[in-house]
Structure 1
Amino acid sequence: MEYKVRKESQTLMEKVFNKHARKGSVKAEQITDMMMQMQPDWTFDTQEMANIIGVVDRKGTGIDLEGFNKIALHFLLKQAKHDQDQFIHKHEIGSADFPSETTVI
């Protein structure tokens, strides 16, 4: 099952990339739009996006499929972590959860 999900994700990234690619690469300015096509409800920090693009496209010549996958993976993992951490403390119990009259035995 996990392999199927990974394969489908890879296929989606390839389709989005190929839709925008010219001569095997895309311009840095296109990345945010491409990411929004994959996940329309995402919001991106423009500075973080620029930093990631700068790391992947050091020469400024364009981003190939492998580079696009790295960028997409960075934000996919970040979103997954955010979704997972959203309710991480839901079941945490603190002293304020007990009435003040409770005595410790």
Structure 2
Amino acid sequence: LIHDKEKSHKILIKELKLSDESYDANKLKKCKDKDNPLNPINRQCYLLKRFLRSHPGFSRDDIQHYINLYCFISNPPADKLEKVEMVLNSAIHLTKSLRYRDFYASKSR
């Protein structure tokens, strides 16, 4: 875990048995972005916040689904057509069925 010596990070490192690379946040405040070793992490946090704010009507119960979508969008492959192919393949191979009556029966309750 690459982090800024936040106390809560120690718990994660211990519980998940992670390797640790830490930096003093107070010292990093004086660094330019290009020299800051945490800049790639800060950039991902910024992009995730921006993504979540662009979907203001999402339910907090569904936040994991939004994070999964963000991860899918932001990770390889970079080619959008490959991603479309991945989505279509997973949809085609999905074994769950939702019957028309079941869908509308749950909405009328």
TM-score by length of 1: 0.29
Higher relative CO (Cα under 8 Å, sequence separation at least 6) belongs to: 1
TM-score by length of 2: 0.28
